[in-house]
């Protein structure tokens, strides 16, 4: 079994709005076919079309449009996958790092829900930004929650940058 088959279905951070806010289409991607397949595209700039994350074609484990997925999706390989493929890391170690990251994401999501930021259609970073820009109500005691969210999100970003985006 290759590294992709072992790691990707256990991860999904590149599709669920954790790593990326959106994915831009590239030359050669068939926008009409991708829309027919289930992607919701938008005009990002005058010349760039993209779809938002979390991807609505991701079922939590696998891509529902894998055979026709956009070029960027086909070409993306996270840092863990690259290290496993290069023999610099074992699958077991990579899976442990994925588990750690997913636990951290789960904790951030729980904290976001506690801070009244519940829109799961947004990326994790968008939800975090919204929560952190809301006024602090000292009477409600939400400053402790805000501090915990800040630290947890910061730790997660460091982990993602080091292991997944490197």
Q: For residues 136 and 157, what is the distance between their CA atoms, to the nearest angstrom?
A: 23
Q: How confident is the model at residue 139, as a pLDDT?
A: 75
Domain coordinates in residue numbering, the chain: 20-77, 98-164
For residue 143, the model assigns a pLDDT of 87
> So what's the pLDDT on residue 116?
85
Query: 3-class DSSP state for residue 123?
Result: coil
pLDDT digits (tens, 9 = 90+) for 8-51: 999 999 999 999 999 999 999 999 999 999 999 999 999 999 99
Whole-number pLDDT of residue 1:
67
Q: What is the mean pLDDT of residues 99-120?
A: 94
Q: What are the tens digits of pLDDT across the range 40-88?
A: 999 999 999 999 999 999 999 999 999 999 999 999 999 999 999 999 9
pLDDT tens digit string along 110-157?
Answer: 999 998 888 988 999 999 999 999 888 777 777 889 999 999 999 999
* Residue 41 φ/ψ, nearest 5 degrees: -95, 155
Q: Tokens at residue 88, please?
A: 């610099």
- pTM: predicted TM-score of the whole model, two decimal places: 0.91
Question: Do 83 and 89 contact (CB within 8 A), yes or no?
Answer: yes
Q: What's the rounded Cα separation, in Å, for the pair 12 and 78?
A: 11
């Amino acid at each position: 079994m290759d590294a992709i088959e072992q790691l990707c279905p256990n991860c999904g951070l590149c599709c669920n709005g954790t790593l990326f806010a959106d994915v831009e289409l590239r030359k050669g991607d068939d926008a009409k076919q991708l829309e027919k397949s289930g992607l919701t595209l938008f005009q990002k700039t005058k010349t760039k079309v993209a779809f938002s994350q979390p991807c609505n074609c991701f079922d939590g484990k696998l891509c529902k449009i894998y055979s026709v997925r956009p070029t960027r999706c086909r070409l993306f390989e996270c840092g863990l996958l690259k290290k496993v493929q290069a023999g610099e890391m074992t699958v077991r170690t990579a899976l442990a790092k994925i588990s750690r990251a997913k636990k951290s994401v789960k904790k951030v999501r729980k904290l976001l829900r506690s801070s009244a930021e519940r829109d799961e259609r947004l990326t994790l970073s968008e939800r975090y930004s919204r929560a952190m820009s809301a006024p602090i109500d000292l009477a409600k005691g939400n400053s402790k929650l805000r501090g915990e969210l800040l630290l947890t999100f910061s730790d997660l970003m460091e982990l993602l940058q080091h292991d997944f985006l490197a």
